[in-house]
Every structure is written in structure tokens, then in C-alpha cells.
């Protein structure tokens, strides 16, 4: 460890901080979810468990809200019809649930990032909100500051209880199994992104020129040498599994991508706290965008027949 090395590290650190994080993006991964198409089947959640080595915590801990479901299907009912409810023995109405699949919204102004004491969660040049498991010390501040409550903590060591032999053989080798005391959350299947990016580089599909790309109200400087990925070249596990194709995932910096077209079509843009739509019929919205978290997931409202 030389003094020169340390000073260099420090000046690198300072430069990154003063520049306000990454100024050169490679991608800006985003999602669009059509709630009209969502049937609440939970297949996406199951796929996420399989893909991302999520611990199965059991019924008791699940009801205690200690579950590890990175992708969760939230159910909301409208005003309950009390007459009908009193006749049936069920606690919930049979019909009329609204489903909201929620996964980490990969906010561009994430509230979890500035509060982490050890910088275990930070913004990547892919526009993702990365979580470094090895760096996490489990102060859980990020989760307390997440308005969506989409971060999950390993309250126990689940390795033995969740994957008793031979189930451990079905673990995804592309990512780690997290131990107790670590925060985790949806990564937009970063292991698949990684594979696709590496493949593009190996096949020499790279953008030679840096570019300035405008997405809605935000302007992104795209770095030279970024991979040139086809739209839908790879899919996230939830998108791949959704039987109705409600989930669309892709690169927002690619003007030809399906997700970008959906965002533009619904007149929803990044970098806003309130969308200004020319056509109020458009169904797109982002959750809690008034909090200025700038999430990268757009939902398309469900329309019901009255």
C-alpha cells in the first residue's frame, strides 16, 4: 500500500462524488407493466424465486412479513361490498381484486442509496440500483428509507432450511446465496444482463461513438464502447414467465425498444415528479413519482367495465 496509491484512490473517489455519480451510461434498463393483462397468477414471483435463489422462509415467517419475495403481487380491493361479504364466510371479496406486481423500481434518484453507511447500494452505469451483498453490513437504513418497501433482509440464515439436499442442486450458479444479515432486492436479473452484455462485447457489437440521448425529460450521456444489444435479446425471469405478457423489459436508451415505445406511447417520461399528458386517456403512471424518486418502472392502469 503506497501513499501514491491511497491518494489516487481518494482523488478518484472525490471525482466520482463531485460529478454526482455516473455521468456516462451504458444502458438505462426500464420496465413497463400492463395491469390490464395481469391476472395475478404469481408465476412471475415463482420464477423470481427460482432464478434469483430466493430463500423460502415458510408460512410462519411469511405472515410475519419476513419473506424474501423480490417480486410480489399486491392485491387491492375496491370498496368492499359489505352485504355480500357478510353472507360469505370469506374475509375477502371473491371478485374485484386489483393486482400490482411490485419489484424494486430501480429509481434514478433512489432514496436507499444516499443513506447506506458503507455504500453497499449504488447506481451502476446501467441505470440500475445495485446491491453489493459482500459490502452490506445490515444497518437496514435503505429499507427504512424506501417508500415502496421493496428491500428484503435476511433475518435468518436460510441455506439449510430453504434448500435441504438435494434441493441445493437447483440453485442458480450465476449468483450467490445470501447469508444472514444482508439486504437484498430485485436486480432486474443482473446476471442475465451481464451475460448479454458480455456476449455483445465478444461478438464485437459495440457502439463506437459516445452519444447524448434524451429520454423524456432526462438527458443521458451514453458512453462510447457500450454494448449494442438487440431489444428482447434476453428477458428477465418474470417477463419470461408471465403468461399474458404483461411485463415488458428493455433498454430505455434504445429508441427502438418496446419498453421505450410503451413509455413514449403512454406519455410517461423519466425525470419528472408529475407527468404532463396531452391525452388523459393514457393509462401509464409511475408509483410515488411525486416523491421524486424517479422510478424506472411504468405501470399501465387497469380499466374496468362498470
Partner 1 sequence: MQTKDINEQIKWAQINKDVLRSMENPRMAYWVAVGTCLAMLMCAVVAEIYQYQVGMGPANLNWPQMWGLYIATFIFWIGMSHSGTLLSAILHIVHADWRKPIYRFAEAMTTFSLMTAGLFPMIHLGRLWNMYWVLPYVSDRGIWPNFRSPLVWDAFAIFTYLTSSAMFLFIGMIPDLAICRDNAKGWRKKLYTALSLGWSGTDRQWRHFRKTYLLMACFLIPLAVSVHSIVSSDFAMSIMPGWHVTSFPPYFVAGALYSGCAAIITLFILLRYFFRFEEYMTIPILEKTCKLTFVIAMAWSYLNLIEFAATWYGHDTAAKEVLWDKFTGPYSPYFWAMLFFGSVLPFTLAFEKLRRHLPTMFVVSLLLNVGMWLERWMIVSPTLSLSYHPIAWNVLWPSMVQWAIVFGSFGWFGLLFLVFVKVFPSVSMYEVKEMVYHRRRAHVEDQAKYFHRRLSDRQPATDTPSP
What residue ranges bind partner 1 (CB under 8 A)?
Answer: 1, 5-6, 8-10, 12-13, 17, 61, 64-67, 72, 74, 76, 102, 111, 114-119, 135-141, 143-145, 147-149, 151-157, 180-183, 288, 291
Coil, strand, or helix at residue 1? coil
Give Cβ neighbours of residue 186 (< 8 Å, ≥ 6 apart).
48, 52, 70, 71, 103, 104, 106, 150
Q: How far apart are CA 225 and CA 193, in angstroms?
A: 16
Q: How far is CA 125 from CA 21, 23, 29, 129, 164, in A?
A: 9, 8, 10, 10, 37
Please report how close the Cβ of residue 289 comes to partner 1 at its closest, in angstroms.
12
Nearer to partner 1, 111 or 240 (CB): 111
Please report how close the Cβ of residue 53 comes to partner 1 at its closest, in angstroms.
17
Please report how close the Cβ of residue 1 comes to partner 1 at its closest, in angstroms.
4
Q: How far apart are CA 62 and CA 68, in angstroms?
A: 8
Please report how close the Cβ of residue 148 comes to partner 1 at its closest, in angstroms.
6
Nearer to partner 1, 100 or 213 (CB): 100
Nearer to partner 1, 141 or 285 (CB): 141
Nearer to partner 1, 144 or 244 (CB): 144
End-to-end CA gap in the chain: 70
CB 73 within 8 A of CB 101: yes
Nearer to partner 1, 9 or 244 (CB): 9
CB 35 within 8 A of CB 172: no
Nearer to partner 1, 12 or 219 (CB): 12
Please report how close the Cβ of residue 174 comes to partner 1 at its closest, in angstroms.
23
Neighbours of 65 (CB within 10 A): 8
Total residues belonging to the chain: 306
Amino acid at each position: 500500500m503506497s501513499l501514491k496509491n491511497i491518494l489516487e484512490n481518494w482523488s478518484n473517489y472525490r471525482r466520482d462524488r463531485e460529478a454526482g455519480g455516473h455521468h456516462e451510461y451504458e444502458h438505462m434498463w426500464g420496465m413497463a407493466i400492463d395491469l390490464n393483462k395481469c391476472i395475478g397468477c404469481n408465476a412471475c414471483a415463482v420464477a423470481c424465486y427460482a432464478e434469483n435463489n430466493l430463500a423460502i422462509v415458510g408460512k410462519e415467517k411469511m405472515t410475519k412479513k419476513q419473506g424474501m419475495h423480490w417480486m410480489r403481487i399486491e392485491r387491492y380491493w375496491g370498496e368492499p361490498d359489505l352485504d355480500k361479504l357478510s353472507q360469505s364466510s370469506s374475509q375477502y371479496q371473491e371478485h374485484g381484486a386489483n393486482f400490482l406486481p411490485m419489484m424494486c423500481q430501480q429509481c434514478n434518484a433512489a432514496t436507499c442509496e444516499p443513506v447506506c453507511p458503507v455504500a453497499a447500494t449504488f447506481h451502476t452505469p446501467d441505470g440500475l440500483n445495485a446491491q453489493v451483498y459482500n459490502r452490506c453490513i445490515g444497518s437496514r437504513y435503505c429499507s427504512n428509507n424506501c417508500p415502496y418497501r421493496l428491500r428484503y433482509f435476511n433475518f435468518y440464515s436460510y441455506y439449510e432450511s430453504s434448500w435441504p439436499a438435494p434441493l441445493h442442486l437447483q440453485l442458480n450458479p450465476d449468483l450467490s446465496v445470501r447469508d444472514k444479515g444482508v439486504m437484498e432486492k430485485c436486480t432486474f436479473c443482473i446476471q442475465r444482463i451481464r451475460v448479454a452484455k458480455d456476449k455483445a462485447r465478444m461478438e464485437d457489437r459495440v457502439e463506437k461513438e459516445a452519444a447524448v440521448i434524451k429520454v423524456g425529460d432526462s438527458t443521458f450521456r451514453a458512453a462510447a464502447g457500450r454494448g449494442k444489444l438487440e431489444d428482447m435479446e434476453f428477458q428477465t425471469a418474470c417477463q419470461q414467465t408471465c403468461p399474458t405478457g404483461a411485463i415488458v423489459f428493455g433498454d430505455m436508451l434504445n429508441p427502438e425498444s418496446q419498453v421505450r415505445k410503451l413509455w413514449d406511447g403512454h406519455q410517461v417520461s423519466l425525470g419528472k415528479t408529475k407527468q404532463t399528458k396531452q391525452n388523459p386517456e393514457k393509462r401509464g403512471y409511475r408509483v410515488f413519482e411525486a416523491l421524486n424518486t424517479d422510478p424506472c418502472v411504468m405501470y399501465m392502469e387497469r380499466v374496468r367495465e362498470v
